[in-house]
Amino acid sequence: MTQLRQLLEIIWTFFKIGALTFGGGYSMLPMLQRETVERQHWLDENKLADYFALSQCLPGLIAVNMAVMIGYQQKKTAGAVAAVIGVVLPSFVVILIVAALLSNYMHIAAVASAFAGIRVAVAALVIYSVYGMFKNGVKDWVAFVIFIVALILMLLFNISPIPVIIGAAIAGILIGQMRMCR
């Protein structure tokens, strides 16, 4: 019984985190800190920072990775699954409602015009994000070459992202070893 109550507690905590962060990733950090560190005392600030750094390096969504780590630390695999359900549930409910509404109203001229404008904003917003990621991730000319190659492969040859990502990881390992040998 207490087992079930603890799992529900995990679901509810991560449901709040999912419901109150917009955009995921970095923007969820303040909510995570308030709910898991200050309220539940599941972990301390340092551990949260460690988990957050690791979440960014691992495959998958940062928010989901955080949920798995904290949930697993609390209640092993059941806790991890509970945390993931909690953090994804708000997206699931809200987006289903919005998507259902949108497909009914998209034929209205004003709605279509609004989205034509919104698409312009989205293009500009993604450029801004790419600029930030570029500043952080592309710091020397070798990294710049990898950036350009990936850009061209995707843009001109429409290649799947998977071989690009695997190739870049292998290139990173090889270049790193060459630098150590020197």
Partner 1 sequence: MIYLLLFWEFFKIGVFAIGGGLSTLPFLYQLSDKYGWFTNSELTNMIAVSESTPGPLGANMATYAGYHTAGIGGSFFANLGLVLPSIIIVIIVCQFLSRFNENTKVQNAFWGLRPAVVGLIAAVAVSLIQIAIFTGINSGLFGTVDVKALILFAVMLPLIFIFKKHPVFYIAIAAVVGIVCKL
| Residues 157-176 within binding reach of partner 1 (CB under 8 A) | 158, 160-162, 164-173, 175-176
Residue 107 one-letter amino acid: H
User: How distant, in Å, are the alpha carbons of 144, 164, 173 from that of 168?
Assistant: 12, 6, 9
Q: Give the phi and the psi of residue 157 in degrees, each rounded to 5.
A: -105, -5
Give the whole-angstrom CA distance, residue 15 versus residue 86: 4
Q: How far apart are the first and last CA of the chain?
A: 61
Which of 29, 37, 78, 138 is close enough to bind partner 1 by CB under 8 A? Answer: 138
Q: How far is the CB of 1 from partner 1 (least distance, A)?
A: 25
Query: How many whole angstroms separate alpha carbon 115 and alpha carbon 125?
Result: 15
Residue 1 or residue 103: which is nearer to partner 1 going by CB?
103
Which CB, 12 or 115, lies closer to partner 1? 115
- Applying CB under 8 A, among 20, 29, 37, 78 the residue interacting with partner 1 is 20
Question: Which residue's CB is nearer to partner 1, number 1 or number 116?
Answer: 116
Among candidate residues 96, 92, 116, the one with its CA nearest the CA of residue 106: 116
Residues in 64-123 that interact with partner 1 by CB under 8 A: 64-65, 68-69, 72-73, 77, 80-81, 84, 87-88, 90-92, 94-96, 98-100, 102, 109-110, 113-123
49 belongs to the binding site for partner 1 (CB under 8 A): no
